[in-house]
Amino acid sequence: MECVRAGVRDVKAVASSRVESEKRGSPLSGEAQQVNEHDSHYASLHARMLFPALDFFEIAMEDISVHDNFLISYSVFCRKREIYLHTAFLDKEPHEYTDVVFSGVTIYHFECDNLDTIIFDIEEAELEDIYAEYENLFSRLKNYAWVTFRYESKEELIRKMREKNVKAFTINSSHGLAGWVWAESMSKKPRDTPKGEI
């Protein structure tokens, strides 16, 4: 994963260009447009410290990549209905740490955890597609309160999930753990240092 960090000079240039463009209602300058997906992420990290008042530097979730990150650990907070995946990109210095947080978790399924997982991607999917792929699992656990409310059919289950604003998220890995989470939301949060996982 190629990740080019933007220096302070680049951050200021991007910030200035964006602010001036928004004032004029004109497109971003060429310099700002050259900042690619990963550049934007790291520019945002630096700029949140330098220019905390600029809304532009609120980090958009889609700008944070966990491709090729190692899964360092994960935590399930049952009462809060949250799952945290603690990930790290270790191929460059300084290392990059990102938490993937699922909130409003209803059900989840992880498999193939070999304790050495390299994440390929985490993305939103269709509830129906997950059910179709794991129909045997849903059928086997239907009467064992895996899903905590009663339902009589796939259609009723999907409808009730949508009424609760539940979405499906898949965890795809190049190596190791894979699975999915049905939850109300998923977010990615960068952090400066590991919490003793390494």
36: part of which helix (H) or strand (E)? none
Asked whether the predicted pLDDT for residue 56 surpasses 80, the reply is no
Q: Which residues are bridge partners to 118 per DSSP?
A: 70, 175
- pLDDT tens, position by position, 95-110: 999 999 999 999 999 9
Which among 2, 190, 192 is positioned nearest to 91, based on CA atoms? 2
- pLDDT tens, position by position, 132-165: 999 999 999 999 999 999 999 999 999 999 999 9
Longest CA–CA separation in the chain, Å: 60
130: part of which helix (H) or strand (E)? helix 127-133
- Model confidence at 197, pLDDT cuts 50, 70, 90, reads low
Q: Which is higher by pLDDT, 42 or 195?
A: 195
Q: Which is higher by pLDDT, 95 or 8?
A: 95
Asked whether the predicted pLDDT for residue 3 surpasses 50, the reply is no
Instruction: Give the DSSP letter of residue 31.
Output: H
Asked whether the predicted pLDDT for residue 113 surpasses 50, the reply is yes
Max mean pLDDT range (9-18, 51-60, 104-113): 104-113
Q: Where are the beta strands (DSSP E) in 35-166?
A: 70-77, 82-89, 96-103, 107-111, 118-125
- Give buried/exposed letters for 48-84 (b at 16+ CB in 10 A, else e): eeeeeeeeebebeeebbbbebbbbbebeeeeeeeebb
Q: Give the integer Cα–Cα distance in Å for 190 and 186.
A: 14
